[in-house]
Amino acid sequence: MATPSSAWESEIKTLSDIALIGTARFAEDARAALHGELPVDEFLARVDVGMSLERRVLLTAAVRAAYDRAGRSLPSNVEPFTAAPSETRATAANPVTALVMELITTQPPALLREALERLMRAELIVAPGTLPALLDVRDSRVRDILPHVIGERGRWVSTLDERAAWLLDVALEPRTIWQEGTHAQRIAVLREQRAVAPADARAWLAETWAQEKAEHRVQFLELFGVGLSSADASLLEDALADRSIHVRASAARLLSAIADSDTAARLSARADAFLGYEPPSGVLARVRSAIGSAAAGTLTATPPQAFEQMWERDGIAARPAKGVGERAHWLTELLALVRPAHWEERFGASARDLVRAAIESEWSQAILLAWSRAAVTHRSSVWITALWDGWRHLSLENATPTDQALRRMMREQLGLHMPPDDAEARVLEALGAPEPEMRAEYLALLEAIPVPWRDEFAHAVLRELARATKASTGPDQQLVRSIWIDYLERISPRLPRALFDDALALEAEMSATESLFPAQQRKLEQIRQLVQLRERIHQEIPL
């Protein structure tokens, strides 16, 4: 017996082709098309023959379609998905699943991250129903954790759904990704390889070096900043001969960080010509020294008068950026390639002393800029803190907008790399200051302090913030309040659980203030919800 579907398809198609043009022009064909092979056609033939051709065409189409709907047959050659492997971890309970679904659509993504991190640590996996929504989340830090909490089911879904293909990249052979992946994937895999097998990472890069684009070569080289060792010197020396100035600059910078490399020695020696130091002398200095209050020595910088062609080899550009003087620019570039500790050794003075001396010198900004970059490259904690403090004391007279922007940027950069203890102390100091100045730089310090915060520190921060809020009076209190609300907003995702109640109490106090702007009220409400959500996360996912 012919399957109704296929017979229907051809018979209906014939009828509809005729209907498209009209039975007026295809009366004969229409009549012919009304006769069919199906059992239902027998029935149709018995229908009133006095009916118009048009009605017969319509009724025939309708009846055949009904016949098809009633008697459809189904194909049997469709392969279902093969089963996913069974899970090795327990699935999170229902309340957690509901919470995760809520967090997917809640801002900021930090909350979802926190929940998933706790799930990972508790060795739980998410419920399968949440997988499509989770795999759609774009936040990169959420994506970093997802492979650890989606279980076998999650990996199975990502082999089938193209939108989740990004997840598979993590599972593929690293070497394959290096050879065939997208640029972003290659950066990620080289970074990982660099952490586990630096020699391999070097070998991979050496292989493809010549074919890489210049900007990619720079990015790959930058990855060598982690786990840098003298074994990397040879590859970096080769890179000094690269045709791109940016590649050379990057290579020179990294080489300067390899203590026993020839290049580092060369760079220090070269820079020595441009910087001199006189320790403090005289009775006053000795007295101050005796009571532990050292005076600054004298730092003399003699920037080069002309550009030397061979400096280009180290990635130094002859012409400076707009708004920067030539000599200042060359001085900065030359000094930036020197390990800060070199100056301590050479001049027999501490980082703090040298920074202070730099502030009082003629080329203060150029020197501080150079040392800041070097301090970050070499991860010199003492210098980072000293410089961060130093920038603050640099006089703002005669500072152009470019200068000011530069200073803010450098302080933020330094802030990111400051040792946590120093960062903590400075945050508390900022909160205790009578005016909340240089807000952005102090907030950047928060990034340097690992999460979760120490209970003591978190407690001190909230206490200081509460005190500062109460003390905000005067004509510009609205603005000041905004600043404190900003702080509370930045702080809330970082607090340890022990401090949630205190944070909510502080938020309630802030909310109770009179004449808050609607925007301020909204922000406070968001802070409250964020802390409450974090409380739920900690409650639902115990560790």
Partner 1 sequence: MPMPLVLTVEQVATLAPDPASLSAGRKLAAGRVWKHMGHDGRALWGECQGSALYQVRVDLNDFAAKCSCPSRKFPCKHALGLLLMAAASPMEIPDATAPEWVADWLGKRGEAAQKKETKAEAVAATPVDEKAQAQRVLKRAARVDEGLDALDLWISDLIRNGLGSLADQGESALEGQASRMVDAQAPGIAGRLRRIASLPRTPDWSQRVLVALGDVVLLIEAFRRIDTLDAPLQDDVRTSIGWTVKDEEVTARGIAADDRWLVIGQRTEDDGRLRTQRSWLLGLESRRYALVLQFAAGTAPFSQMLIPGTAFEARLRYWPSAHPSRALIEERRGSAEAWSGIAPGFEHFSDLLSAMSHALAAQPWLDLLPCVVRAVRPARTAESWHLVDAPGRALPLATADHWKLAALSGGNPVDVSGEWNGETFLPLGAFVGDTFERLGV
Nearer to partner 1, 421 or 501 (CB): 501
Exactly one of 41, 44, 59, 122 binds partner 1 (CB under 8 A); that residue is: 59
Q: Which residues contact 182 (CB under 8 A, 6 or more apart)?
A: none
**Quick one: which of 6, 32, 72, 467 contacts partner 1 (CB under 8 A)?**
72
- Choose one: 17-25, 180-188, 299-307, 392-400; the region binding partner 1 (CB under 8 A): 17-25
The size of the interface with partner 1 (CB under 8 A), counted in residues, is: 58
Return all residues near 454 (Cβ < 8 A) that are at least 6 apart: 424, 496
Contacting residues for 14 by C-beta, under 8 A, at least 6 apart: 33
Q: Which of 1, 2, 49, 78 binds partner 1 (CB under 8 A)?
A: 78
Specify the stretch interacting with partner 1 by CB under 8 A; choose among 67-75, 268-276, 332-340, 349-357: 67-75
Nearest to 227 by CA among 439, 379, 344, 430: 379
For residue 189, give the 3-state DSSP assignment.
Answer: helix
User: For the chain, what is the radius of gyration of the CA atoms?
Assistant: 36
If binding is defined by CB under 8 A, does position 81 make contact with partner 1? Answer: yes
Distances (CA, A) of 374 to 3, 34, 165, 339, 517: 80, 89, 40, 6, 44
Near partner 1 by CB under 8 A: residue from 35, 69, 379, 522: 69
Neighbours of 176 (CB within 10 A): 11
The yes or no reply on residue 428 touching partner 1 (CB under 8 A) is no
Residue closer to partner 1, measured from CB, 143 or 536: 536
Per CB under 8 A, 265 contacts partner 1: no
Binding characters for partner 1, 104-133, by CB under 8 A (x = yes) = ------------------------xx-xx-
By CB under 8 A, residue 473 contacts partner 1: no
Q: Does 510 bind partner 1 (CB under 8 A)?
A: no
The verdict on 25 binding partner 1 (CB under 8 A) reads yes
Contact string 520-539 vs partner 1 (x = CB under 8 A): -----x---x--x-------
Residue whose entry in the numeric block shows the structure tokens 């990996």 = 155
49 makes contact with partner 1 (CB under 8 A): no
Place of tokens 């990294």: 254
Out of 28, 43, 95, 273, which residue is the one contacting partner 1 (CB under 8 A)? Answer: 95
Question: Residues 142 to 181: which contact partner 1 by CB under 8 A?
Answer: 153, 156-157, 160-161
Considering only residues 302 to 331 of the shown chain, the ones binding partner 1 according to CB under 8 A are none
Query: Judged by CB under 8 A, does residue 22 bind partner 1?
Result: yes
Q: What angle do CA 318, 335, 424 make, to 5 degrees?
A: 125
* Residue 373 amino acid letter: R
Closest distance to partner 1 from the beta carbon of 142 (Å)? 17
Based on the shown chain and the rule CB under 8 A, indicate whether residue 90 belongs to the binding site for partner 1. no
Question: Shortest distance, CB of residue 3 to partner 1, whole angstroms?
Answer: 12
83/396 with CB nearer partner 1 = 83
Residue in 57, 170, 233, 351 binding partner 1, rule: CB under 8 A: 57
Minimum CB–partner distance for residue 164 and partner 1 (Å): 9
Please identify, among the stretches 57-65, 110-118, 248-256, 352-360, the one whose residues bind partner 1 according to the rule CB under 8 A: 57-65
| Interacting residue with partner 1 among 46, 49, 76, 542 (CB under 8 A) | 76
Q: Which helix (H) or strand (E) holds 516?
A: none
61 lines the binding site for partner 1 (CB under 8 A): yes
| Piece of the chain touching partner 1 by CB under 8 A; list 22-30, 368-376, 395-403, 416-424 | 22-30
H runs (alpha helix) in 122-164: 131-135, 140-149, 151-160
Residue 503 to residues 436, 465, 492, 495, 517: CA-CA distances in angstroms?
20, 10, 7, 8, 21
Residue type for position 128: P
Q: How far is the CB of 455 from partner 1 (least distance, A)?
A: 23
531 is written with which tokens? 């802390």
Check if the beta carbon of residue 341 is closer than 8 Å to that of residue 349: no
What is the C-alpha separation between 474 and 326, in angstroms, rounded? 46
- Assign 3-class secondary structure to 301-364: ECCCCCCCHHHHHHCCCCCCCCCCCHHHHHHHHHHHCCCHHHHHHHHCCCHHHHHHHHHCCCCH
Q: Distance (Å, rounded) from C-alpha 91 to C-alpha 312? A: 59
Q: Which residues bind partner 1 (CB under 8 A)?
A: 12-13, 15-17, 19-25, 52, 54-55, 57-63, 65-66, 68-84, 94-95, 98, 101-102, 128-129, 131-132, 153, 156-157, 160-161, 525, 529, 532
